[in-house]
Amino acid sequence: MKYLPLDSGIFQSNRNRFVKSMRPGSIAIFVSNDEWPMNGDALHPYKQNSNLYWLTGIVQEDTMLVLFPDNPDPKYREVLVLVRPNEWKEKWDGKRLRAQEAKAISGIETIVWLDGFEGLLQQWMHLTDDVYLSTNENDRKSTEVQTREYRFIQEMKARYPLHHYHRSAKILKTLRAIKTAAEVGVIQKAIDITDITFRRLLGFIEPGKMEYEIEAEIWHSFLSNRATGPAYGSIVASGDRARTLHYVSNNQECKDGELVLMDFGAEYGGYCADLTRTVPVNGKFTRRQKTVYNACLHLHNYAKSLLKPGISIVDYTEKVGEEATQQFLKIGLLRKSDVRNEDPSNRAYRKFLYHGISHHLGVDVHDLGTRTEPIKQGMVFTVEPGIYIEEEQMGIRIENNVWITRNGHQDLMKHIPITIEEIESLMKR
C-alpha cells in the first residue's frame, strides 16, 4: 500500500458494530474478491471486497473473515483467514502478509492459514444454526458476473443445507452508511489530496492542453501524495463533452473559450473523495458562463442547506428540482409554459439536469445506504447539481462532500476553491 498505516481501531469498531446486529449464537463469514483475469496471463489490478475491507483493512486476495461472537472458545470468536506465504510465488508476485502484519492492520489476534481453514469451519458450523453470508446489494449493481461471494454461498448451502442463512448486506447497508469520526478522518485525507491536486490543475490548464494531459497531472499529484490512485475513472471533459456524465475518453483538446469539467477524487486508505469543478480553459469565464455557473453554484449551496437529519434523498431531490426550475426560468433555459405543461414524471428542468443530486460516499464512491429512509447523523453525501445545455454546448457541475451532523452538516470540501473569483484568481496566478 502507498498510504500510511491506518489505526486498526477503525476496523475493530466496524466489526463491533456488526457483531451487535447479529443473532445470538450466529456466525458470519466474509470472503475476498477474485483476482480477475485480463488477457493472456495478465490480471486486472486487485481490488478488495468493500465489506471485507471495511471490517478488516486487509487488501490481499484469498482472505476471509469469520465472526462468531458466541463461540465457546474465545480464541475463535474473531478469525482472519489468510493465504499462507509462499516463497516461490513471492519471487514473482511480491510479498504476502505475515500473521503479525495482518494483526497490526486489522486488530484481529487469531490468524488462520487458508489451507487449514476447512477443518475449523466444519467444527464451527456444528455449533450454530444461523449463518450470515455477504452479497452485493448496492442498488446500482448491474453486472451479471458471478463473484466469489455468490459461489461461496452456493458452496455453503450445498455443504450445510439445514442451516439458516441470512444476509450480511442488510446489516451492512445500515452500518456502512453511518461513518465514525475516525472514518471521516480518512475520507478527509483523501479530500485534502484532491484539494492539492485541484489547485495544481488551476496552474496547469490553458488552451491547447489535452484532456489526457490534465488526467496525467491528476495521477501524478495523487501518487505523489500517497493516494492509492483515483477513486474512480477521472472525468476530464472540455466543451460539449461535459454533457456526457461518465465521459472518460479524455482524449480531446481543451480549446480557448471552452469550459472544462473535471470530476475526480483520490482514494486514500480505502476511502474515497469525489470532487467536481468546472473551470474556463483560458482562465476567464465569459458573461454567459458566469451566469450559468452561478446558477449551478446557487443550486449547490441550496442543496447543501437541505442536508440534515430527517429528510430523505427522495424528498431532498424533489426540493432541489423545484429550485432548479426557478433558476432555469431566471437564466432563460425554461419558459413558464414549459413548466405549466410539464410531465410530472419527467419534469421540465430534467432537460438540463438529468442526474441525481447526491449519493452516499465512503469505501465505495457510490457507497451503501438508503435513498428512501430519513437521512441520519454520520452519513456522508456528495452534493453535485449540474446544468447541461445542448444548444450552447456547455456542461457545468459543482460537487462537494458533506458529513451529516446532529443539526445539519459539515462541508468536508469547504476549503477547496469554488467561486468564480477564487478560480479566476488562482488560474491567473
pLDDT at residue 141 greater than cutoff 80: no
Q: What is the pLDDT of residue 140?
A: 75
Domain boundaries, the chain: 9-175, 181-428
Which value, to the nearest 10 degrees, does the dihedral of the CA atoms of residues 226, 231, 237, 241 take?
170
| Cell numbers placing 234 | 477521472
Q: What is the pLDDT of residue 146?
A: 87
Give the containing element (helix H, strand E) for 178. none
E strand intervals along 87-202: 110-113, 130-133, 164-167
Mean predicted confidence (pLDDT) in 229-244: 98
Could you read off the pLDDT of 162-192 as tens digits, one per residue?
Answer: 999 999 999 999 999 999 999 999 999 999 9
283 and 428 in contact (C-beta within 8 Å)? yes
Mean predicted confidence (pLDDT) in 136-154: 87
Phi, psi of 265 (to 5 degrees): -165, 145
DSSP 185-210: HHHHHHHHHHHHHHHHHHTT--TT-B
Q: Which CATH superfamily hosts domain 181-428? A: Creatinase/methionine aminopeptidase superfamily (3.90.230.10)
| CA distance to 2, 9, 33, 52, 100, per residue, from 60 (Å) | 14, 19, 9, 10, 15
**How many helices, marked H, and strands, marked E, lie in the chain?**
13, 17
- Report the alpha-carbon distance of residue 332 to residue 79 in Å, rounded: 61
Which value, to the nearest 10 degrees, does the dihedral of the CA atoms of residues 335, 340, 342, 345 take?
130
Mean predicted confidence (pLDDT) in 364-383: 95
Mean predicted confidence (pLDDT) in 216-231: 98
Q: What is the pLDDT of residue 310?
A: 96
Mean predicted confidence (pLDDT) in 384-412: 97
Question: What is the b/e burial string over 269-300, where b = at least 16 CB atoms within 10 angstroms of the residue's CB?
Answer: bbbbbbbbbbbbbbbebeeebeebbbbbbbbb
Q: What is the pLDDT of residue 50?
A: 97
Q: What is the mean pLDDT of the chain?
A: 96
Q: What is the pLDDT of residue 208?
A: 98
pLDDT at residue 429 greater than cutoff 80: no
Pairing of strands 110-113, 78-82: parallel
CATH architecture classification, 9-175: 3-Layer(aba) Sandwich (3.40)
Q: What is the pLDDT of residue 53?
A: 98
254 contact partners, CB below 8 Å, separation of at least 6: 205, 206, 207, 208, 209, 210, 211, 214, 238, 239, 260, 281
DSSP three-state, residue 133: strand
Hey, what amino acid is at 160? Answer: Y
Q: What is the pLDDT of residue 142?
A: 74
pTM of the model: 0.96
Q: What is the pLDDT of residue 25?
A: 98
Q: What is the pLDDT of residue 122?
A: 96
- Report the alpha-carbon distance of residue 223 to residue 218 in Å, rounded: 9
Mean predicted confidence (pLDDT) in 356-377: 95
Model confidence at 410, pLDDT cuts 50, 70, 90, reads very high
Mean predicted confidence (pLDDT) in 50-68: 98
Could you read off the pLDDT of 80-97 as tens digits, one per residue?
Answer: 999 999 888 888 889 999
Q: What is the pLDDT of residue 139?
A: 78
Could you read off the pLDDT of 36-58 as tens digits, one per residue?
Answer: 999 998 999 999 999 999 999 99
Terminal-residue alpha carbon distance, the chain: 35
